Amino acid sequence: MVSAPEVWLDFFEKYYSNEINRKIAEKGGFRYDGSPIIVNVSVRDTLILNYDLYRELMTNPDHVISHAVQGLKMTHNIYGVTLKEARVRFVNFPEHNRKLVKQIGASSVLTFVSVMGIVRRLGDSSSFVKYAEFVCPECGLSVPVAVRDDELKPLVDKCPDHKKKLIPNTKAVVRVPYRKITLQDLPEHLEANELPTFLEVWLFEDLVENIRAGDKVIVNGVVRSMLKQIEKKEAVERIYLEANSLEFIEKDFRTIKITREDEEKIKAIASNQNVYERLVQSIAPNVYGYDDIKLAIALQLFGGCKEEDRRGDIHILVIGDPGVSKSKLIREVAKIAPRAVLSTGYSTTGAGLTVSAIKDDEGKWNLEAGVLVLADKGIALIDEIEKMGKEDREHMLEALEQQTITVSKAGIHAVLNSRCAVLAVGNPKYGKFDRSSPLAEQIGLESNLLSRFDLIFVVLDEPSEDRDREITRFLLKNTKKEPPIHPDLLRKYIAYARDNIKRVELSDEVVKEIENFYISLRKRAREGVTITARQLEAIRRMTQAFAKIRLSNVALVEDAKRAIKLMEASLSTWAVDPETGAIDLIYGLMGIGAGTRDRIATLKLIINSLDSGNGARLEEVLAKAEENGISRVKAEQIIAKLREVGDIFFPRFGFVKVVK
């Protein structure tokens, strides 16, 4: 055996003496308080230098970890204090040594592994008894208790001298924080139609803190099997992973560390006059074009400001013809967002979006977070949203507006946070988008769901020789385009802005600018209702996001103008009534343009005027409609539509009546 306390003593003093001294300084230096000193040992950088020691850790972890802790306690330090408690965390394993959740099985038991996965479920935070004693109430004989898995096993039940039943010595109990989590394979590691596998992970002490459902992590630790199952003579073993260390694959707002140098770079970017152009070029640089959409995504990543019951997150929907890089776009966004959860509509149910109730091995019901809960304080990316069932999409309504999910399942009533922005992409129902038909008919999404999105963009694959040549050159280049802002720095920039700019004030001039825009469009209601209060709120959020990008707590008139321009660019792609050429929100959401609305009102008046009590004769209605400038064909189409939605009915053959 290579491992021994003395070997680890030499190892720590050779490679980690400065780190140990720094840790002791944080604990009081000469006044060291006796709390655990935790040292992270980088396997890739240091332990691999002693390959025999590394190999022994992987095959005989319990002895090696015990020796490492003893060696750490023996190390000398500049303060001359003795370490009372020490922990050794092994981190930074070589990538070829990392395993997937599905690769952990019987051959892994009692070995050290490094496993990648996503936290699918969090158990309750509780305490775990690391050490306990039982005593004789008569003579005080103390007997230590063996801790096996999640049970306490006294070596003897009764005092050998007095035959008295031993009782727990509550003063001798050593408790540590404890939590179970469930680790699942990362979606990108699954083959087509392959179901994910799960692994139970036990966390202790400091590892319990700062972890949430949805975190993408690497768990390093020892695979164990439940000894109590063997004692009960059960053939099927239950295995779990006892974590030694935890690393985050995907950095988010809790784990991103911003240095003073990073802060200076961020402030320099924010003060640059071309900051918005640089952001556009840095988001999905390997996707050609779509500057308006990329600018909208930049605003989404920085976000507006939450004010009482008004959300600050910006929701975006992109609808486009097949092959226009929509899926690639959201996957590129996932790489730079500080916290992102990706799902696809064809494989996501309502419970998968929100929350499901799962019964654990002990028969208890637990809530398992869905996409919108996992993405809390981040961004939820939904590909092919139109493939989701109607009932499943309805689960999104509360999350999109109230940013909560209310659940009442299996006797559990809870309100969960889903404070996330949603970026969804989808395809037209009939393959290609037709500008002559409204969005609502082509995408198959309900108007109440569509209205929750702050910005909707329609992307068409229209032939253009110049554009086609540019795309061809762009795609056939072998070198990847380097973005102006590196993804790591951009992620820190977003986190810094969101953490430091919590509130953005709208000056009187900004309010006046938005107000004038809103009122001017509302005055044109006869031509088409071009904007509603929801779009007004969206402009507020975007104006604040433009200010946050500049790291400013005060929005400028230019911010409002940019937000209004982006809103108009969005509406122009999907909310234009082909009959009038005007932007008409109702036409886009419901498929009823201003002209059609006028004709509907006229037809209802005609029917009512000709109704003698038992309905109006259909032929007379059609003739009267023609007199009022509505063609017979158009009138028949409108009557059929009104009958379909229940606004009119046929009381008898050849007669029509308006529903009161």
DSSP states along 406-458:
EEEETTEEEEEE---EEEEEE--TTSS--TTS-HHHHH---HHHHTT-SEEEE
Rounded to whole angstroms, the Cα distance separating 410 from 404 reads 19
Token pair, residue 259, equals 């240095």
At a CB cut-off of 8 Å and minimum separation 6, what does 408 contact? Answer: none
| pLDDT at 301 exceeding the cut of 90 | yes
Mean pLDDT computed over 562-591: 80
Mean pLDDT computed over 427-438: 76
Residue 635 region by backbone torsions, left for phi larger than 0, else alpha for psi between -120 and 50, else beta: alpha
Mean pLDDT computed over 503-521: 91
> Which of these, 537, 583, 545, lies nearest to 562 by C-alpha position?
545
| pLDDT at 529 exceeding the cut of 80 | no
Parallel, antiparallel or unpaired: strands 37-42 and 86-91:
parallel
Give, in order, the Cα–Cα distances in Å from 622 to each of 255, 469, 488, 613.
69, 53, 66, 18
Sign of the Cα pseudo-torsion (582, 584, 588, 590, in order): negative
At 174, the amino acid letter reads V
Token pair, residue 195, equals 């179901």
Task: Kindly indicate the confidence band of residue 583, based on its pLDDT and cuts at 50, 70 and 90.
Answer: confident
Report CA dihedral (27, 28, 32, 36) to the nearest 10 degrees.
Answer: 0
Work out the mean pLDDT of the chain and round it to a whole number. Answer: 86
Sign of the Cα pseudo-torsion (628, 629, 632, 635, in order): negative
H-run or E-run covering 566 = helix 557-574
Tell me the residue ranges of DSSP E strands in 36-168. Answer: 37-42, 86-91, 98-100, 112-122, 126-131, 133-135, 142-148, 151-154, 167-168
Least confident range of 214-218, 562-566, 568-572, 573-577: 573-577
Structure-model confidence comparison of residues 412 and 544, the more confident one: 544
Each residue's pLDDT tens digit, 453-477: 999 999 887 767 777 777 777 777 6
Token pair, residue 414, equals 């809870």
Give, in order, the Cα–Cα distances in Å from 305 to each of 351, 355, 375.
29, 26, 18
- Quote the pLDDT of residue 272: 93
Question: 123: exposed, middle or buried (C-beta count within 10 Å: 0-12, 13-18, 19+)?
Answer: middle
Token pair, residue 284, equals 């999905």
User: How many other CB atoms are there within 10 angstroms of residue 112's CB atom?
Assistant: 24
Question: 31: exposed, middle or buried (C-beta count within 10 Å: 0-12, 13-18, 19+)?
Answer: exposed
- Packing angle between helix 61-74 and helix 51-59, nearest 10 degrees? 130
Structural domains of the chain, ranges and CATH numbers in brackets: 5-92 (3.30.1640.10), 97-132+173-248 (2.40.50.140), 260-574 (3.40.50.300), 593-658 (1.10.10.10)
Phi/psi at 248 (5° precision): -95, 125
Each residue's pLDDT tens digit, 70-128: 999 999 999 999 998 999 999 999 988 899 999 999 899 999 999 999 888 888 788 88
Contact 403, 416 (CB under 8 A): no
492-517 burial, b for 16+ CB within 10 Å, e for fewer? bbbbbbbeebeebebeeebeebbeeb
328-352 burial, b for 16+ CB within 10 Å, e for fewer? ebbbbbbebbbbbbbbebeebebbb
Parallel, antiparallel or unpaired: strands 616-617 and 198-204:
unpaired
Residue that the structure tokens 């006797």 belong to: 411
- Quote the pLDDT of residue 228: 67
Structure-model confidence comparison of residues 560 and 430, the more confident one: 560
Q: What is the pTM of this model?
A: 0.76
Q: How many residues does the chain have?
A: 660
Rounded to whole angstroms, the Cα distance separating 548 from 543 reads 9
Rounded to whole angstroms, the Cα distance separating 203 from 124 reads 11
| pLDDT at 528 exceeding the cut of 60 | no
Rounded to whole angstroms, the Cα distance separating 299 from 247 reads 29
| Segments in 340-432 forming alpha helices (H) | 350-353, 371-374, 390-394, 396-401
Mean pLDDT computed over 420-443: 81
> Which of these, 43, 83, 35, lies nearest to 65 by C-alpha position?
43
Phi/psi at 167 (5° precision): -120, 155
At 550, the amino acid letter reads R
Task: Kindly indicate the confidence band of residue 1, based on its pLDDT and cuts at 50, 70 and 90.
Answer: low
Sign of the Cα pseudo-torsion (111, 113, 115, 119, in order): positive
Task: Kindly indicate the confidence band of residue 510, based on its pLDDT and cuts at 50, 70 and 90.
Answer: very high
Task: Kindly indicate the confidence band of residue 261, based on its pLDDT and cuts at 50, 70 and 90.
Answer: very high
| pLDDT at 140 exceeding the cut of 60 | yes
368-407 burial, b for 16+ CB within 10 Å, e for fewer? bbbbbbbbbbbbbbbbbbbbbeeebbebbebbbeebbbeb
**Helices first, then strands: H and E counts in the chain:** 24, 27
* 3-class DSSP state of 33: coil
Sign of the Cα pseudo-torsion (93, 98, 101, 103, in order): negative
Task: Kindly indicate the confidence band of residue 362, based on its pLDDT and cuts at 50, 70 and 90.
Answer: low
Question: 229: exposed, middle or buried (C-beta count within 10 Å: 0-12, 13-18, 19+)?
Answer: middle
Token pair, residue 84, equals 């009372």
- Packing angle between helix 487-500 and helix 533-549, nearest 10 degrees? 110
* 3-class DSSP state of 174: strand
Phi/psi at 652 (5° precision): -160, 170
Out of 136-140, 558-562, 609-613, the most confident range is 558-562
